[in-house]
Amino acid sequence: MICMPEELAIFGGPKAVTIEDKEAFGPWPVITDETIELVKDCLRKGWISGTPPVVTEFEEEFARYHDVKYALSMNNGTAAIQAALFAVGVGPGDEVITPSYTWHCGVTPILACHGIPVFCEIDPKTLCADPEDIERRITSKTKAMIVTHLWGVPAEMDRIMEIAEDHDLPVIEDASHAHGGIYKGKKVGSIGDIGCFSLQASKAMVAGEGGILITNNEEYLKWATALGNFERLWQWPDHPVHKFANAHFGLKFRIHPLAAAIAYVQLKYLDERNKVRRENHTRLVEGLKDIEGIEPPYIPRYVKMGGWYGFRIKYYSEKLLGIPKETFAAALRAEGVAASLERYPLLHLEPIFTDRKIKIQGGPIRCPYEPRRFYKKGDLPITEEVFSRLIALPKFEAKPCKELIDQHIEAIRKVVSNIKELKEKKIEKIEVPVEAGTH
């Protein structure tokens, strides 16, 4: 164990994190010469639109990697989710159960289908949708459920699939944080009826901008294609989707061929890069387990982590003299730990789900998405309580960095060990940013 000086850096002591290694946190994404050459080859061949071979080859490889029959590439992950909802038949007034603590573009496609998001509680351990609360919220209007594997930790899919089977409901997995993750021997995204992935530039596997869905259900594939990839409907002349080959639903969701080329190469190295993420973050999880007042991410023994899109700890101020989360995070930042506040808002407390008279430029307008279900603070008490404790720590995804991770662990231990100093002395200014991120 590293012996740290007692005085906290926020009061003038030396920083606990002394290693400066920007490469540990990036640059991301990794763009190799192999990627550049394939993109150049596509340009030489004129593959800059439509669905040339590089697109279909990428889809075939992605499906093979996940051991499923079909993959359909999209221009982004949001489009993949909307196509999945359309494929399972979500329409006006249909309810779709989903957690409130997730990226909003994993939920707003429900509105785009004129469905109704029904928010469920999260499991305090996984931070993913709580299966038992999902079941409590099922009604005769429920059409589907969306489950996000948040920050790369898989939801409890066995129980979720049992509930789905009991109520004859399709499950859409949002695996955009968990590329390559494995739950009880199965790749995430391949367990539910449809799996959706973002391939945006900050993800574990990228296309620049792009998305993809996977499924073993041919009907779902065809209807997902009908929504936003109409130019491929010629493949099924005897199926009802073919009638939309010339005039469809007004959406164009196909991936750009150059994005497919980038993703094609990225897939080849996903497992290799995930191994670095997994070893780094497992070391961080293990190092934080015995620190008072801190709870690292819960990783079930039957899970093999993949994307590790984010790293969240839960902070228990009541165990640390009542020091506010923001004060604790500020002390960590002074020590050299880039701690930050949660960047995902709780969606059930956002205006689109709380304000019945949404105003734009001072005047009331009718929201185009009606009907909706409205919420208020206290409607999801478990989610809200867990959310109030979250602190984001940096990701270590670009290379192995054991010493740097150990210094981060000791920095956190140092602040906890000197919590009385933090209580007794006044901090002049507390500035803790919201975690930076793009989607």
Supply the pLDDT for residue 13.
Answer: 95
pLDDT at 1: 46
pLDDT at position 56: 98
pLDDT reported for residue 427 = 84
Question: Do the Cβ atoms of 146 and 81 come closer than 8 Å?
Answer: yes
**CB-based burial label for 56 (10 Å; 0-12, 13-18, 19+):** middle
Fold adopted by 33-268: Aspartate Aminotransferase; domain 2 (3.40.640)
| Confidence (pLDDT) at 154 | 98
Q: Amino acid letter at 350?
A: E
- Tell me whether domains 33-268 and 271-424 share a fold: no
Q: Tell me which residues of the chain have a pLDDT lower than 70.
A: 1-5, 359-368, 438-439
- In angstroms, the Cα distances linking 109 to 85, 96, 97, 115, 393 are 8, 10, 13, 9, 29
* pLDDT at residue 359 in the model: 64
Q: Please list, in sequence order, all residues whose beta carbon lies within 8 angstroms of the beta carbon of residue 1, skipping any fewer than 6 positions away.
A: 410
Give the helix/strand (H/E) hosting 435: none
Which among 369, 347, 385, 380 is positioned nearest to 137, based on CA atoms? 380
Mention the CATH class of domain 271-424: alpha beta
pLDDT digits (tens, 9 = 90+) for 150-194: 999 999 999 999 999 999 999 999 999 999 999 999 999 999 999
CB 348 within 8 A of CB 326: no
Which helix or strand (DSSP H or E) is residue 39 part of?
A: helix 33-45
Query: Position of tokens 């603590």?
Result: 101
**What is the CB-side half-sphere exposure of residue 259 using CA atoms within 13 A?**
24
pLDDT of residue 266: 98
Summarised one tens digit per residue, pLDDT across range 341-366 is: 999 999 999 999 998 877 655 666 66
What ranges do the domains of the chain cover?
33-268, 271-424
Q: How far apart are CA 292 and CA 358, in angstroms?
A: 44
